[in-house]
Chains A and B, each alone.
Chain A
Amino acid sequence: MSTKIAVGISRGPNSLEAGRDAAFSAKVNLGSDEITLAIAFSSINFDLSEVVRGIKRVIKSAPLVGSSGAGAITNAGSQKRAVVVMLIATSDIKLGISAVGPIASGKERASGRDLTQQAMDQTKGFNRHAFSLFCDSLINNPADLLSGMQEILGASFPISGGFSADDGHFGKTYQFFDSQVLSYSAVGILWGGNCECSIATGHGWKALGRPLTVTSHKLNRIKTIEGKPAVGLYEDYFDENVNDLKQSKLSKIALLYPLGFYVSAEDGYILRNVLAVEDDGSLICQGNIPPGAEVRLMIGTKESLIKASQDAAKSAKMYIDKKNKRTIAVIIADSFSRYKLLGRNADKEIETIREVFGHNTPIIGFYSFGEQAPLSALDYMGKSYILNESISILAIGV
């Protein structure tokens, strides 16, 4: 059978029809009835149970993995309201799929181990290349889930993907696994067999102002910077009163000016969105704070963001090319913050990626509340991190 991959999209308006039409369109493009796996992303505006029901009507018993997003991505660009489906029919690639959840607080690490082990069991005896993770963004400690996964996969095994999103309200997010629509869960795909996977990431933000030392933090909370309440950083730079910042203003400012934590081992910055300010002036970030952190305010432009995505795409493609393989599919988790910031230019970002991989290479993706990827790509597959305001690109080559 070799490998065939195709993508379909539908904008609805009816949820069942949107799922069915997207899957049907993908199936028509695939030209095969033997579907090995379906990957689906849907914006939150649909009744997701109906969307999944619609997809399953077309793919029948084939497995389904996916996530809700703040928007969907295909070769056609970005869509705020759409269902996108990628269908894979393959005898070359060995796929392990898994799901865990609902993930209780404190059980994140164990859930990460469980999620990975399920997928590992299905790919015994095959080379394993990468893990695609789609995880609820509202679980308590996603960093622990990632650590749990790395305990099984190995610290430098490449993990790529994104955290499920809603339309920006941070209310409830969803994961798809076969016929189920889950929440507070994680689903994944372990890519193995006769294929190559390449992961690349980028953000495009540049450090601004003086480097500051995080003097006290725990998990995703920064208590003090340079010995003073962490919120002082934003008060200082934006000349804003702490009370104004508390009243939702900070999340908007931080969307444009996230915090950048320098990771010396990777010679790069990991970004963190600030979600809230606590009464004691602590900043609550979307993702844990790297240890020994030196923090800086980050600034970006639409052009620098798009350039970073283009560089990431080139880097991912170069690895596949170097292995004398052909890129047959691209899976993207792109930050919701980037989508908001790019606005009408969001399509330009996808167009740039499409140009790198070629217009006929199937692309699917979603706008996420956080991404996962190793900071370095190409020959060196470094440790995967939880990222914010970044794009994570997984290229599959055969």
Chain B
Amino acid sequence: MSLLSAKALEIFINALGLFGWLAVILLVAYSLDKKERLKKASKRLSKIESAFDNLDEQAKLIVKTDLELNKTQEELDRKVSGLFTLQRISRTISRTFDKEEVFRRIEKSFLEDLGFDKVLLFIWKDNILTHRASVNYDKDKIASILDSLQAEKGRGSILSRIKMGKTIAKTKETVLGETFEEDVKKIFGLEYFFVTPIQLKEKTIGFIVIGNTSEEYPITEGDSELVKILSTQIGEALENAQLFEETWKSHQELETKVKLRTRELSQALDEIKQVSKRKSDFISAVSHELRTPLTSIKGYASILISEKLGQIPQKVKERLKKINYHSDDLTQLINDLLDISRIESGKTELDLKTLNLSELVNEALDLLSPQIKEKGLETQITVSKELPKLTADRRQLERVLINLIGNAIKFTPKAGTISVAAKAKDSNMQIDISDTGVGIPAKDLPYIFDEFYRSETAINENIKGSGLGLSLVKYIIAAHNGKIWVKSEIKKGSTFSFTLPLA
């Protein structure tokens, strides 16, 4: 420092004085503080800067995670909506059993909902590849595709791969052989595609081509499942249609056969009816013809027996009584035949009235009581007076009861039991007439109600009967819209049951 400068400093220090020094000290202190504060602010700023950077890094992580989530969600959405669409397609195509309609129902809207641009469907018919359905392809392009497919030769061609049941796919993830991929793209005009066989009972019957034209819209491996389901559904719909067609055809054949057979049966029935009518007419005519002379025979026999024409020897009288007796039998037989004939031909009109079964049963038992007493039979009657009333022809129902109870008496050994029971069931009354008699052989049961049918048993040979009683009963019950049946066991007895409508 020069002498001049040192002097100048000394003058300046002296000039500052006490306040001046104070100011200088404060200024220096302030300057130091400001520097310190700036330093701190700078530190804080870099902290904020670093926090911002951290936040930005976190934001990047959030974005990446969110992107992954969105991708997964998108894939899931795509699959769910794809499955919804497949369900719709399935519902639509499975509602028809017409093969052509199956193809017609593959609509553009389904394809769009599945997220594809174009579809083509081919089927082999009699070994000729034919186009059956398409969306967004024109006729010329389809014709050119068919030409190109058929022009391809060899094991590696599209058609040979499809016939082997292989799917040809170009997705975002898969790569086909470069030349082959370009060929397929060119043939179908698609950037991404599935060419999937349609199989029926494991045999390839056709194939579906589905895909997108733009590189912007790649299809993924995940879509392959949807396309496989779609081709399976189409295959199943076609199979169902074929099965339906076959079933329908056989149904038609069956129907024709049934019609033919029905016609034959109807003719046979008509013939049987005619024969039956002729039989009835014959029986009716013969019965009438027989009854007249029979009445005369019986009349003359009665006159002779009464000895109004003079006394007759005892032996003659006995013979005449036999004539009279057998004439009665014959008259009864003829009357039964006439009744059957009338009922069968619908000539008998029922006089339907509301009846109390209990009264009728008691009357029938009264009438038959001599025979019951004679054989010492026990009777068990379970026919309540409180039972609902019946609608029936009184005279005919009496005949039914007398016939069935009479049979029971005939075929029940001495000291046996005959029972009559009745119960109301639904809109009918069921009446059961049982005995502890000899029973009916099982082989005879199906024929027991046939006219003139008599069981060939030793007992039956000793018991008189025309074989018309049960037939008559059956006809009377049927005329009342009732049913009759029998259960029987040899040596244990029989139960004849029949139903009649309630009033």
Contact = CB atoms under 8 A, between A and B. Distances in A.
Given A45-B108, A169-B214, A256-B67, A297 B77 contact: no
A249 to B, nearest CB: 11
A238 B60 CA distance: 7
Contact of A209 (B56, B70, B77, B108): B56
A343 to B, nearest CB: 4
B147 interface: no
Interface string B21-61: 00000000000000000000000000000001001100110
Contact of B109 (A13, A169, A209, A297): A13
A80 interface: yes
Interface residues of A, number: 23
A237 B216 contact: no
B80 A344 contact: yes
A11 B74 contact: no
Interface in A337-353: 341, 343-344
B113 interface: yes
Contacts of B59: 208-210, 237, 297
B74 A237 contact: no
B63 interface: yes
Nearest to A345: B77
B353 interface: no
B109 A12 contact: yes
Contacts of A109: none
A274 B214 CA distance: 20
B328 interface: no
Contact of A81 (B56, B60, B112, B214): B112
Contacts of A236: 60
Interface residues of B, number: 24
A256 B64 CA distance: 12
Contacts of A45: 108-109, 112
Given A11-B109, A81-B109, A81-B112, A210 B60 contact: no
Nearest to B66: A299
B246 interface: no
B63 A299 contact: yes
B456 interface: no
A61 B214 CA distance: 40
A379 interface: no
A207 to B, nearest CB: 10
B63 A208 contact: yes
A250 B216 CA distance: 12
A297 B74 contact: no
Contacts, number: 56
B107 interface: yes
A257 interface: yes
Given A13-B107, A80-B113, A210-B56, A344 B81 contact: yes
Interface in A319-372: 341, 343-344
B62 interface: yes
Interface string A289-307: 0000000010100000000
Contacts of A11: 109
Given A13-B109, A299-B63, A344-B77, A256 B55 contact: no
Interface of A is mostly: mixed
A237 B112 contact: no
A245 B77 CA distance: 24
Interface in B71-116: 73-74, 77, 80-81, 107-109, 112-113
A210 B51 CA distance: 11
Nearest to B52: A210
Interface string B259-294: 000000000000000000000000000000000000
A13 B63 CA distance: 41
Contact of A169 (B74, B80, B107, B216): B216
A119 to B, nearest CB: 35
Contacts of A208: 59, 62-63
B92 to A, nearest CB: 12
A11, A13, A208, A239 — most chain B CB neighbours (10 Å):
A208
A253 interface: yes
Nearest to B60: A237
A180 interface: no
A256 B215 contact: no
Nearest to A257: B63
A238 B63 contact: yes
26 contacts: A11-B109, A12-B109, A13-B109, A45-B108, A45-B112, A80-B113, A81-B112, A169-B214, A208-B59, A208-B63, A209-B60, A209-B63, A210-B52, A210-B56, A210-B59, A237-B63, A239-B60, A239-B64, A256-B66, A257-B67, A299-B62, A299-B66, A343-B74, A343-B77, A344-B77, A344-B80
Given A209-B56, A344-B77, 19 more contacts: A13-B107, A81-B109, A209-B59, A210-B52, A210-B55, A210-B59, A237-B60, A238-B63, A239-B60, A239-B64, A248-B215, A257-B67, A299-B62, A299-B63, A299-B66, A341-B70, A343-B73, A343-B77, A344-B80
